[in-house]
Amino acid sequence: MNYLHTFSQELPAVFDGVKLAAVATVLYILVRCLNLMSPTAPPEIVYQDTLLSRYLLKSCPMLTKEYIPPLLWGKSGHLQTALYGKMGRVNTPTPHGVRKFLPMLQDGATATFDLFEALGDHSTGDDITMVICPGIGNHSEKNYIRTFVDYSQQQGYRCAVLNHLGALPNMELTSPRMFTCGCTWEFAAMVGYIRRAFPQTLLVVVGFSLGGNIVCKYLGENRSNQERVLCGVSVCQGYSALRAQETFFQWDQCRRLYNFVLANSMKKLILPHRDSLLSLNSSSIADADLSRVSAATSLMQIDDSIMRKFHGYSSLNEYYEKESCVHYIHKITVPLLLVNSLDDPLVHPSLLAVPRSLTEKMPNVMFALTQHGGHMGFFEGAVLLPQRLSWMDKAIVEYADAICHWEKKKRWSLCERSGHGDANVCSLNTEATHSG
């Protein structure tokens, strides 16, 4: 009886110990999963020491001060990515734009973009247009795009946002083709329209994720594409689709799971266009190709079944090789900011060797690498609810503003040396100002 009495007294203490151990285990897992012990830090900035880079570091505090994500969850790249993927942004504004249709493409496709006028004068007094290429399968109605456009408008920028071919709801295809990871035709058509409609405007080129690959490829494809371009900005791209495809089958950082999720998102874009892709003349797509898309569990299967065939690539490797900006980006001479996050679960750290290598060879390139931010997240704010604007939104506009002022001063200097009193009468082709 004494033994049973003693045991009954000790039993609650044992249970209390188990509870404490369970709580400690859960807390440990949360700390590890949420990466709470990871310190915050300023972005790592890789660049060559030039007058321009010194000016940028002085003029862009977003690039030099500590990036602090939301306390409880912001240090998790997965949660940042998931929140971006699900919500885009919070308290999203609704900028008012005009949709433009461009039916004059090479194969009869109809490109569309949305045009948003500036809500005030730019601080330089110049007419400046941001030409924006969204991420995979995205368009001007996405929350992160609307937030960025609204902020840019308030800072005096006109914005033109490409709608990826086949991505807009209820917009039928007029040729047997959708957007691909590196086709620049639609973006070039939009930029061409802006140049014709606003002959005095200067351009800031911005690309997000897959859009970053497209804009860098566009700028490097032809030197004339850089005329009247003040600078380019690319955020969260992977630079080489050929190298990236291997990493997307790895379970490290759950990339295989992300691959599956992205494949399902692509299927939701492609399959509603089944009739258009099959019925239009000269279509290279067969019903069997679309059946394989329906069964696909990875982006690579979709790319091999249908995406590469839009441009007649004979193999998946050829498609990835030819559509990646890594073969064109070294030809860009305008100032270029490349932004990535170290905890981006979609961009393997090995791919970041590309921008690092570029900065060693190209004085016009600056590479900013944040510790946190995930893929296209970069949320800032309090413990739980993030702010409407992200670190990314503010950093891009701040960099663009700094470049605009830098180029304005250079144009004034050129005008003074040439005898003109007004910088606005000088050539708007800023190519000459980028040398040196």
- Contact (CB, 8 A) for 161 and 105: no
Closest to 244 (Cα-Cα) out of 181, 334, 330, 197: 181
Q: Mark whether 252 is an active-site residue.
A: no
**Measured distance CA(225)–CA(219) in Å, rounded:** 5
Please tell me which residue in 76, 152, 209, 234 is annotated as part of the active site: 209
Going along 292-413, which residue ranges are E strands? 336-341, 365-370
- Show the CA angle centred on residue 228, arms to residues 222 and 234, nearest 5°: 70
Q: Can 139 be counted among the known catalytic residues?
A: no
Question: Among residues 160, 161, 162, which one has the least CA distance to residue 129?
Answer: 160
Q: Which of 101, 102, 113 is nearest to 145 (CA)?
A: 113
Residue 366 pairs in a beta bridge with: 337
Cα torsion 236, 249, 269, 372: sign: negative
Catalytic residue among 273, 372, 375, 434, which? 375
Amino acid at 251: W
CA nearest to 162, candidates 115, 98, 197: 115
CB atoms within 10 A of CB 22: 10
Whether 209 sits among the annotated catalytic residues: the reply is yes
Q: Do 312 and 180 meet the contact criterion of CB atoms below 8 Å apart?
A: no
Helices 143-154, 391-418: crossing angle, 10 deg rounding: 40
Positions annotated as catalytic residues are 209, 344, 375
